[in-house]
Amino acid sequence: MAHFKRDPGPIISGAVLVDKPQGPTSFNVIRSLRKTFGQREIGHLGTLDPMATGLLAVLLGKATKLADYLVGDRKSYRAVFLLGLKTSTFDATGAVEDGAEWEGALGLFQSEGLAASLPPALLASFPDEEKARAALDSFMGEREQRPPNFSAIKVGGVRSYDRARRGEDFLLPKRRATLFESELEIYRPPFLALRVTVSSGYYIRSLAQELGEALGLAGGVALSLRRLSVGDFKVEDALSPTATKEEFLARLIAPRALLPRIPEITLPAEDLARITKGLAVAADALVLPGPGQFPRPERIALGEPGRALPQGVVKIVDDAGVLVALAEVGYRQSGGPDARLTSPGGKDALSPARPFLRPKRVFAENALG
C-alpha cells in the first residue's frame, strides 16, 4: 500500500541531489521524496549510513533505468577517524570491543573536535604522523576489503546488519575495492581527518578499522563521514531533503545529462522507430573505431560520411535532443539466431562484421529530455 498521494500529473524523470543530514537512513530520505514528488519511481545511487552526511544522488521516474550506468562512479568523502578504538560497527555507534582506554576520546571529539587532547602518558606510544601517512599510503589501489558486519549487504537474502543485530557470529567475504586518492588533512592523535576518493562498494568504516590495525592499534572508528561527490555530482549542488517539489524541479538534472561521457547518436526516423520497439538496427555507413577514438562526448549522425561509430554504449537522441534509448554498439559475423537486421531500404543486413546498434534501455513512450 502506498503511503503517499500519487500526483495525477506525468511521472517526473531525471535526477536530484540531496544533502542527507546525520540520523535518517537513505531509505528514509527516499520515502520522504516519494511524498514530495507524489510518485514511487525513485531510487538512489549508493547508500549512506545513518551516521553519515552528504550527497545522495537520487534518480526519478524512467531515469532509474540508467542506474546500472551510474552506480559504479567514483565517490569522494571527508572523514574523521578515532584510532585505537574498535567497535562492532567500526563507527561511534557500536559496542566497544577493544581499546576501551580510548573510549573517553569520543566525548572529547564531540565537544571540542580535533583540538581536543588526551593525557600525554596515554599518547606517548602513539604512532607519529610519518607512520600514519605511510600506513594510509599502503591502502592505495585495488585490494580486498572486508565489509563491516553492520552493513546493508545481503547474504542469502538477509541483510547483514539484521544478522549482526541478532548476535550471529560471522564474517562477510572480502570484496575487491579501490582507494584511488587519499589526503591526510589533520593528524592529532588519536584523531585523524582525511579525504578519499574510492570505488563503488568501498567502506570507509572498514578503512578506519584496518588503518588502526596497520598502526599496531586495536583498530579505528569513523567518527564522522561526509560524502562530497558521486561521479560528476557535487554536494555543493544538493538540496535539503525537506526542500519543496518546486525547489527540486528547479535543479532537476535531465536524463540525457546524466551520462556526459557517453557519445550521442542520431538516427533516421525509420531506425529510431525500430529502436523504440526494442529492435536492433544496422549501421551500414559507419565503421567501428579502435579504443580511445572518442575520448569526449560527441553527437554523431548515423550515416555521416567519414565518421566512425563508438564502441560500447551510446545514447540515442532524437532531432530535438531528447534521450530516446541507450544502445550497445557491436558487430557480428553472418549467421546466428538473431543475426537478421533489416535496413531501412529493406536490404538484408546480414554480412561479415557489419556494425549494428542493439537497444539496452528504451524510453519509448515518453522520451527523456
Query: Would you place residue 343 in the very low, low, confident or very high pLDDT band (cuts 50, 70, 90)?
Result: very low
Asked if residue 228 has pLDDT above 90, the reply is: yes
* 3-state secondary structure at position 106: helix
Give me the residue spans of the domains in the chain. 14-73+232-256, 75-230, 261-362
Q: Residue 230: count other Cβ atoms within 10 Å of its Cβ.
A: 23
If you search the block for the grid coordinates 502506498, which residue do you land on?
A: 2
So what's the pLDDT on residue 164? 84
* Partners of 55 in the β-ladder: 19
pLDDT band, residue 122 (cuts 50/70/90): confident
pLDDT at 306: 42
CATH 3.30.2350.10 fits 75-230, yes or no: yes
The terminus-to-terminus CA distance of the chain in angstroms comes to 31
CA-wise closest residue to 231 among 125, 34, 74: 74
Taking only the tens place, the pLDDT of each residue in 127-145 is 999 999 999 999 999 999 9
pLDDT at 308: 47
| Cell 592499534, located at residue | 217
pLDDT in tens, 2-44: 466 777 778 899 999 999 999 999 999 999 999 999 999 999 9
How far, in Å, CA of 282 to CA of 304, rounded? 14
Provide the pLDDT for residue 110: 56
The C-alpha cell 554504449 sits at: 313
Per-residue pLDDT, averaged over 142-161, amounts to 88
Instruction: Kindly report whether the global pTM for this prediction surpasses the value 0.75.
Output: yes
- Greatest mean pLDDT range, 52-66, 85-99, 158-172, 285-299: 52-66
- Which residues have a Cβ under 8 Å from the Cβ of 120 and sit 6 or more positions away? none
Q: Please give the pLDDT value at position 296.
A: 40
What does the pLDDT read at residue 9?
76
The per-residue pLDDT for 196 is 98
Q: What is the pLDDT of residue 131?
A: 96
Residues noted as catalytic: 49
> What pLDDT, on the 0 to 100 scale, is given for residue 217?
92
Does the structure show a pLDDT above 60 at 298?
A: no
pLDDT above 50: residue 337: no
Average pLDDT, the chain: 82
- CATH class, 14-73+232-256 region: alpha beta
Specify which residues 17 forms β-bridges with.
57
